[in-house]
């Protein structure tokens, strides 16, 4: 049995008795070998969330056939569900401006195999990082922002052309138009250099310095039409004191931004994140 290939089922539905039994029973009847299972009942919304990994070779049918058979169970419980096949790597289209620390970290993790994804292209509103990206053998597309409507139409076209699954804003210092956020809801991830909801918008380290905070952080979140207010995937912080300058905070922040984005992306790529209104359930 090839234990490396897995199907990851994620779902949410109105909470009620029998959900776990129905799903587990479905796979048991077909000889499915469940190797990881996570559950969460959200009292505030009355919804139930589940993630299960099943060894692909333990099932007697293809992924398509499994989905057809499972549809009856899903309909009975009113499930919103999807299945990810580990044999197909998620395709991340990365957007970046001039700062390269998050991009550099992602490409290192990608090249080393730590982050098992495909990166079909990088898009930027500046030319600065072209040679760095192309050295990695990745196509680089410069999209100037003089006409923003035209620029974002081109970005959307490139994303579709490269068959992107997720758009990653790796310090892309532009605000996406609301229609693009709605069209790809749950598929656009941003790293914000602040511990949201504090210090939204531009220059959060300067805002934090002026406020005299003792903790700064970074937030990986899904992008919505509301600026820096989408569902949060991952966060982290570092302690500072009165002797730290804005430049110090920016320097500390770069390290946090890299690790928070990497962790958030890993959870997303492994289908460990389920959106619950404007929050997330993250099965780590």
Sign of CA dihedral 49, 53, 59, 64: positive
Q: Which of 105, 128, 163, 228 is catalytic?
A: 228
CB 123 within 8 Å of CB 170: no
DSSP 98: S
Element (H, E) at 109: helix 101-112
d(CA 138, CA 117): 13
Q: Nearest-CA neighbor of 168 among 199, 122, 227?
A: 122
260 phi, psi to nearest 5 deg:
-65, -45
Question: In the annotation, is 228 catalytic?
Answer: yes
Distances (CA, A) of 130 to 75, 101, 118, 159, 270: 48, 14, 18, 18, 29
| CA geometry: angle 57, 61, 65, nearest 5 deg | 135
Catalogue the active-site residues: 228
């Amino acid at each position: 049995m090839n234990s490396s290939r897995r199907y990851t089922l994620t779902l949410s539905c109105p909470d009620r008795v029998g959900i776990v039994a129905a799903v587990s029973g479905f796979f048991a009847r077909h000889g499915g070998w469940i190797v990881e299972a996570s559950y969460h009942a959200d009292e505030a919304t009355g919804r139930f969330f589940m993630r299960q990994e099943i060894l692909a070779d333990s099932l007697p049918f293809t992924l398509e056939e499994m989905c057809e058979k499972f549809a009856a169970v899903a309909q009975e419980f009113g499930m919103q569900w999807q299945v990810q096949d580990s044999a197909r790597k998620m395709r991340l289209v990365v957007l970046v401006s001039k700062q390269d620390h998050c991009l550099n970290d992602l490409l290192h993790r990608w090249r080393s195999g730590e982050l098992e994804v495909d990166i079909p292209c990088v898009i930027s509103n500046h030319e600065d990082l072209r040679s760095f990206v192309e050295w990695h053998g990745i196509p680089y597309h410069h999209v100037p922002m003089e006409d923003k409507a035209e620029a974002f139409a081109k970005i959307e076209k490139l994303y579709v052309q490269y068959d992107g699954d997720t758009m990653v804003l790796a310090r892309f210092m532009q605000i996406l138009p609301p229609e693009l956020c709605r069209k790809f809801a749950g598929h656009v991830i941003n790293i914000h250099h602040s511990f949201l909801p504090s210090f939204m918008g531009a220059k959060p380290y300067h805002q934090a310095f002026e406020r005299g905070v003792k903790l700064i952080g970074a937030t990986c979140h899904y992008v919505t039409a509301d600026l820096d207010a989408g569902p949060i995937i991952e966060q982290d912080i570092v302690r500072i004191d009165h002797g730290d300058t804005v430049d110090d905070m920016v320097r500390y922040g770069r390290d946090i931004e890299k690790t928070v984005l990497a962790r958030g992306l890993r959870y997303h790529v492994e289908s460990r994140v389920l959106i619950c209104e404007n929050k997330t359930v993250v099965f780590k």
